[in-house]
Amino acid sequence: MELLNVDSITMKFGGLTAVNNFKLKINPGELIGLIGPNGAGKTTVFNMITGIYTPTINKIYFQDNDITGMKPDKIAREGIARTFQNMRLMDNLTVLDNVMIGFHLHLKSTLTSAIFKFPGYVREEEDIYSRSMELLGKVELEKCKMEKAGSLPYGQQRKLEIARALATGPKLLLLDEPAAGMNPQETRRLMDFIQKIQDEFSLTIFLIEHDMKVVMGICKRILVMDYGITIAEGNPKEIQNNPEVIKAYLGVDANYA
Amino acid sequence: MSLNLFLQNVANGLSLGSLYALIAIGYTMVYGILRLINFAHGEIFMLAPYFLYFGFLIFHLPWWASAVVAIILTAVTGMLSERIAYRPLRDAPKISVLISAIGVSFFLQNLAIVVFSGIPRSVHRPEFFKTLFQFGGIRIQSTLIASVIVSAIFLTLLIYIVYRTKTGLAMRAISADIETSRLMAVDVNQTIAMTFVIGSALAAVGGILWGLRFPQLFPWMGMIPGLKAFIAAVVGGIGNIPGAMLGGLILGMTEILFVAFLPALSGYRDAFIFLILILILLFKPDGILGKNVQEKV
Amino acid sequence: MKKQNTKIFTIFALIVLGILVYLAENHLDAYKLRILNLSAIYITLGVSLNLIYGFTGQFSLGHAGFMAIGAYVTALLVLPPYYKEMIFILEPLAWPFTVMHTPFIVALFFSGLFAAIAALLIGLPVLRLKGDYLGIATLGFAEIIRVIANNIPRITNGALGIKGIPEFTNLWWTAGVAIFTIYIIKGLINSSYGRALMAIRENEIAAEVIGVNLTYHKVMSFTISAFFAGVAGGLFACLLTTIDPKAFMFLMTFNILIVVVLGGFGSITGTVIAAFLFNFFLEYLRPIEAGFNIGPIVVPGIPGLRMVTFAALLLIVILYKQKGLLGGIEFTWEGLFQFVNKLFSKNKSSEGSAT
């Protein structure tokens, strides 16, 4: 059974077609990359999958459920998590709080038991705390747990965003340009990290990236978009040699070793 | 309702509407440029007839000179409020500017109480404005006609400024994209100051005409008309100048006709207007002429 | 600090508070009591407004409307039927209000309940709006409520308002409700739900993607906030003994806003302190407006000066000290002890370093 089935969706904003007939099937355990020049519509695809936009035409299925047009919080509950291209952390909250929020959607305690601190709630809260610390450990941020998220250096903020996404317990993780702004060393660590969490949390990962090292290095399958249309799909070698892809990227520094 | 009565109401509605239009423009211009609802605009509107009153009574200026001075003083007040209370917050979270605007509003209102006292003042009406014209069966006060004509003149002037001058071009540019405008060497601070000056001047004209029509002045008279003018701006499409004019006229007509056709519900007049606002915000927030600006995710 | 110790200190503090309230009730004059009572009511109002503003980030300007609902509900429930028959001279009071007569605490509960129901109905459509628009929409609703109150004499006695409400409110009630409000709202904030609310404040889109149901949480916060505003309205009615629609104009919401801004968004401690400061200064500055005598010299009053001062203060805080006069600090027992420790250790080290 495929995990995600994006069935030829199109996104129109008034007269502008941002995404045209985007098709994709992802199987559990895959690591798929989506590349393309800026403005190609990649983030729009992410936004449709996560419920921020509703596709103008056609549908999206997750684990055989129709999730088209579902609200983002419901989609998160279904098991899809994401990070943002321009990072959306809760800047004024602590690092720890940012991760703990990720566990809120699975909270079983009622509002009343939370306000009055019934034992059932207290247990859940302690559980959330320890699991959050665990996640922070994985991204090496336990020491700054009480710092404001907004005060963290850029690279650490990115890791925090991923930790927060992991807290929701997703089956499918969407990463929007996770390596943006990272130096080569950090990028290599990120690549290892992504593969590590994929194993550890049994994730299926779908990522958007501009850094070809990352994409060619860890993605088994890659889609290329330009002007809203998928112009190529295949494994890294096929994509590297595809004339359409090279044409779309002409002038962009695409150095992949 | 007889035709005469109906036409009388329409005339009243147009007159009131043109006053709302003058005030609404100030709201819409500021919103278009700063994405801020200038809560204090109603108080700007209120200050003009007071300046007129004191200019005339205390300084014994001829009536028309008092009016000009009043407009200038009001425009300066508007400009100062922007300089002192809004400019420092240009990069702050939106809520801060909103609260600042509310603060300016109450500050000006109470300052007016302190300086002018809360005793209602009567604006002196020059002879010309007391005459009554007869058109068939309708009696129209000259203030009514004056409102419409003066509004039309100033609005035409405004359209000229916004669409045919460099300042106007700068305003429209900043409305569309403030960052890029800065990069294009548009003097943002000056243009914004100009926006406030023009908006306040128009509100001042509205205030003076209002004072002629409803001669009782008190320091909190700006709140409700200010709020209604804002609603007018939203109805027409916030950020859109022709929208503000249209909205003003529509709101004026609606208010008058609501009372005319449903006299039993006249106490609910203001509630009805607020209801319109809420319905528009919920179902057509861009108003009649407005355009939707989506947030980029 | 262990949880046990915090609980002990809190209980101890409450006992001390109880003693202070007892002393105040029995020894202070009515004038001073009125200021204390108003301060306590403003704590309830400020903390509840802070819940929807400071913690959830929703700019609601409709608090006065919920107060109004609460005030009228309490007034109608707490007055004996024969009295209501007397004062409703414009139009006879509608059934079932004619026969209803409940104890004060029941009335307060219903005040909160009706305000909460109104908030639920208003909030569901309106909380979709953002920033200024939400502010204006909620302001609009508060005004609509006020206009309705003015126009349904069968229930509210119209513009005449309701007079002669029994003066049930005393410091036990106001302080008690204030403590209860702080307890509930603090309980909410220091929980996963509170984190969800703050997440909404910080970044709504991210919060939604993380699985926070925006509608549920915003409406929940709005409704709870309105509940306490309604209860405060009821306390208000039985303190001032008369209410009319004019008491619930936007000025009332503005006063609460001043308390929240001066105290700092998201700071309950700040709101408490600001509530007292606001009411104390409002009262003690009264002579400046009414005029006073210094010996033979008569200093004329300048009406409106207090509000000008407060408006100016609001502007100064919002322009320069956006976190509030206190910088957004929150009181904890630990914090207090650390503070005291710092004071003492400073003294010690200055003595030691003299060598």
Query: Cα–Cα distance between C181 and C187 in angstroms, integer?
Result: 10
For residues A152 and C123, give the distance between their C-alpha atoms in angstroms, rounded to a whole number.
36
Domain coordinates in residue numbering, chain C = 10-290+301-335
Write the residue in C184, C193, C202 that is nearest to A93 by C-beta. C202
Confidence class for position C347, pLDDT limits 50, 70, 90: low
Domains and CATH numbers, chain A: 4-79+170-248 (3.40.50.300), 90-153 (no CATH)
Rg (CA), chain C: 22
pLDDT, mean over chain B: 85
In degrees to the nearest 10, what's the CA dihedral of C347, C350, C353, C355?
-100
A 57-86 residues inside an 8 A Cβ radius of C:
71-73, 76-77, 81-82, 84
Write the pLDDT tens digit of every residue in C166-215.
888 889 999 999 999 999 999 999 999 999 999 999 999 999 999 999 99
Stretch C274-291: mean pLDDT? 84
**CA distances from residue A7 to A4, A22, A68, B153, C345 in whole angstroms, order as listed:** 9, 7, 10, 58, 68
Instruction: Report helix, strand or coil for B154.
Output: helix
Residue type, C333: W
Contact state of A47 with B297 under an 8 Å Cβ cutoff: yes
Task: Indicate the range of A166-175, B41-50, B142-151, C306-315 predicted with least confidence.
Answer: B142-151
Chain A residues touching C191 at Cβ < 8 A? 114-115, 117, 121, 125
Does residue A257 surpass a pLDDT of 50?
Answer: no
Whether the link from the prior residue into A55 is cis, omega within 30° of 0, is no
The pLDDT of residue C37 is 94
- Count CB atoms within 10 A of the CB of residue B1: 11
> Phi and psi at residue C259, in whole multiples of 5°?
-60, -45
Q: What is the mean pLDDT of chain C?
A: 87
pLDDT recorded at residue A253: 52
Question: Quick check: C355 pLDDT over 60?
Answer: no
Distance CA C255, CA C274 (A): 11
The model's pLDDT over B96-111, given as tens digits with 9 standing for 90+, comes to: 888 899 999 999 999 9
Q: CA of A84 to nearest chain B CA: how many angstroms apart?
A: 8
**Contact status of C336 with chain B (Cβ, < 8 Å):** no
Is B294 in the A-facing interface, judged by CB distances under 8 Å?
yes
Question: Above 90 in pLDDT, residue B241?
Answer: no
State which residue of chain A sits closest to C185, comparing Cα positions: A115
Q: Which residue has the higher pLDDT, A251 or B134?
A: B134
* CA terminus-to-terminus distance, chain B: 54
**With pLDDT > 70 as the criterion, what percentage of chain C qualifies?**
93
Confidence band for C353, pLDDT divided at 50, 70 and 90: very low
* CB contact (8 A) between residue A47 and residue B294: no
Give the pLDDT confidence of A160-192 residue by residue, as tens digits. Answer: 999 999 999 999 999 999 998 888 998 998 899
What are the structural domain ranges in chain B?
3-283
Length of chain B, please?
297
Rg of chain B, C-alpha, whole Å? 19
In angstroms, rounded to a whole number, what is the distance separating the alpha carbons of residues B226 and C250?
13
Whether the predicted pLDDT of B147 surpasses 90? no
CA-based radius of gyration for chain A: 19
pTM: 0.90
pLDDT digits (tens, 9 = 90+) for C34-58: 999 999 999 999 999 999 999 999 9
To the nearest whole Å, the CA of C55 is away from the closest chain A CA by 11
CB distance A13–B297 less than 8 Å? Answer: no
**Nearest one of C111, C27, C30, C35 to C70, comparing CA atoms:** C111
> How much is the ipTM here?
0.91
Answer whether B95 touches A (CB < 8 Å). no
* Phi–psi pair at A81, nearest 5 degrees: -125, 160
Least confident of A170-179, C118-127, C258-267: C258-267
Reported as a single tens digit per residue, the pLDDT across B78-97 is: 999 999 999 998 888 778 88
Query: CA C315 to CA C326: how far, in whole Å?
Result: 15
Please indicate whether, in this complex, the C-beta atoms of C132 and B96 are within 8 angstroms of each other: no
Of A1, C253, C50, A236, nearest in space to B102 by CA: C253
Q: CB–CB of C211 and A73 under 8 A?
A: yes
- Ranges B59-63, B268-272, C328-332: which has the least confidence: C328-332
Residues 6+ apart with CB under 8 A from C163: C87, C241, C242
**B3-283 under CATH 3.30.70, yes or no:** no
pLDDT(B10) > 80: yes
pLDDT in the model for residue C95: 72
Buried b (16+ CB within 10 A) or exposed e, C37-74: bbbbbbbbbbbbbbbbbbbbbbbbbbbbbbbbbbbbbb
Q: Is the pLDDT of residue B294 over 70?
A: no
- Asked whether the beta carbons of C144 and C247 are under 8 A apart, the reply is no
What does the pLDDT read at residue A182? 86
Residues of A in contact with B294 (CB under 8 A): 13
